[in-house]
Amino acid sequence: MAIWSDLTNDALEYITSFLSFPDRYRFGAVCRNWRSVSKSKRYPPTPQLPWLVVEEEKETRKRKFYSLSDDKNYSIEIPELHGRYICGSSHGWLFAVDIKITGILMNPFTREYFELPRFPPFYKDEDVDTLMEKVPSDYVGGPRNYTFEEMQIRIVSKAILSHDPKERSDFTAMIMFGEMNTPAFWRPGDLCWTVVDGQKGSLYDIIYFKGNFYVLSPVNVLFLVDFEPEPKLREVGPQLEVEGVAQEQYLIDFDGNLLLIERFCECVEKNKITTIGFNVIEPNLEENILYEWYDIDGYALFVGRNSSIYVNASHFRKCKKNGIYFTHITDPLDVCDDLGVYDMTDKKISKFYSVEVFPTPVGSPVWLTPNPW
């Protein structure tokens, strides 16, 4: 009978391609040879369930992650993220803001990162003299009425990438920042963020879809980010006539289809918002027709501060088919106890985690698809 130590590296590499990220990490801890094999990129890895990036442990300063695939917490020492607020994720990379309102773009599992320039001013009409009395002298772009720590949390509401930086060096990072969720972009080598002109009001979400960035306004108008000759927003299609008023809206590239996800909430007590349901809509921009989706064909969606994610739920034992997994992002200064999964089939909301493993309330968590290969 064959034993594991007799297996060739080729066979071991093929086996690891079917492992979840936690199991692949355990595989690599067996011995030096298996660790080398676990880092191989010869075979594409199996699809991964998103993790939740939670808060930093005050005692150890380790960053806590929650793994949906095995319902466990993992505390990982990542010094580059100490004291930083996670404001978004995309392609397995995190956007993190420090106390000086500068940021980094980081893959937490490979430790690769890019230093980001200081973010643009929070308000367009800043009173510099007033600001200088409220925030450190090395930054004059903060809000008038928030503490510096609060500004760290509020400055960026969404951050996404056009491509995985490990696969393309000419990627673009796009953020929505400040009181109006103004779009701005940065590319490797740029010394500052470039603000996109043409905004007529606050914005809801941003997406990279079929080679272009699109942003959504609260009145359901979709804008394309036109980079030439000067970066500006250009309206595409008429206003989408959506029924009801959603608390949050998300855009997602669902297998080549642009979908609009509406999140409905209610106030159950003072300053406490609870999610009660979702709608999934496919807009036809040319004909201004909306197609409501009553299920998502056995897939699962993950929405929040992250760039929206979808996975084939049938590939994962602990993933709900036709489920929309959500995190609390209504006010990042509030503790989070509004996170769960909405079942599009029976219209019910449930918890996706064991309370003893992932107790609430917690700080605003962010979905992240592990990308360590």
Residue-wise pLDDT tens digits, 113-135: 999 998 887 665 444 344 434 44
3-state class (DSSP) for residue 154: helix
Q: What is the pLDDT of residues 40-94, one digit of tens each?
A: 666 666 678 999 998 888 888 899 999 888 888 888 899 999 989 999 999 999 9
Tokens at 70, concatenated: 């095995």
Strands (E), 220-336: 222-226, 232-235, 248-254, 257-269, 272-284, 289-293, 299-303, 309-312, 323-326
327 neighbors 68 (Cβ within 8 angstroms)? no
Plot region of 153 (φ>0 → left; ψ -120 to 50 → alpha; else → beta): alpha
The pairing of beta strand 299-303 with beta strand 323-326: parallel
Per-position b or e across 132-165, b if 16+ CB within 10 A of its CB: eeebeeebebbbeebeeeebbbbbbbbbbbbeeb
- For residue 9, count other CB atoms closer than 10 A to its CB: 13
Tokens at 280, concatenated: 């999934």
Mean pLDDT of the residues in the chain = 81
Query: What pLDDT shows up at residue 131?
Result: 41
Give the residue among 371, 365, 1, 305 at the shortest CA–CA distance from 156.
Answer: 305
Query: What pLDDT shows up at residue 185?
Result: 95
Q: Which residues contact 354 (CB under 8 A, 6 or more apart)?
A: 71
148 neighbors 122 (Cβ within 8 angstroms)? no
116 neighbors 173 (Cβ within 8 angstroms)? yes
Query: What pLDDT shows up at residue 200?
Result: 76
pTM above 0.75, yes or no: yes
User: Per residue of the chain (373 residues), what is the pLDDT tens digit?
Assistant: 456 666 777 777 777 766 766 676 676 667 777 777 766 666 666 678 999 998 888 888 899 999 888 888 888 899 999 989 999 999 999 999 988 788 999 999 889 999 999 888 766 544 434 443 444 444 555 555 567 677 777 788 899 999 999 999 999 999 998 878 899 999 999 999 999 988 877 888 999 999 999 998 877 788 889 998 889 998 886 666 666 667 888 999 999 999 999 898 887 776 677 888 999 989 877 777 778 899 998 999 999 889 999 999 988 888 999 999 998 765 555 555 788 999 999 999 999 888 777 666 566 789 999 887 7
300 neighbors 322 (Cβ within 8 angstroms)? yes
Query: What pLDDT shows up at residue 132?
Result: 39
Residue 130 class from Cβ within 10 Å (0-12 exposed, 13-18 middle, 19+ buried)? exposed
What Cα–Cα distance (Å) separates residue 133 from each residue in 40, 113, 129, 268?
53, 33, 7, 38
Q: Which residues contact 371 (CB under 8 A, 6 or more apart)?
A: 91, 92, 93, 107, 109, 110, 164, 166
Q: Which amino acid, residue 152?
A: Q
The pairing of beta strand 340-343 with beta strand 348-350: antiparallel
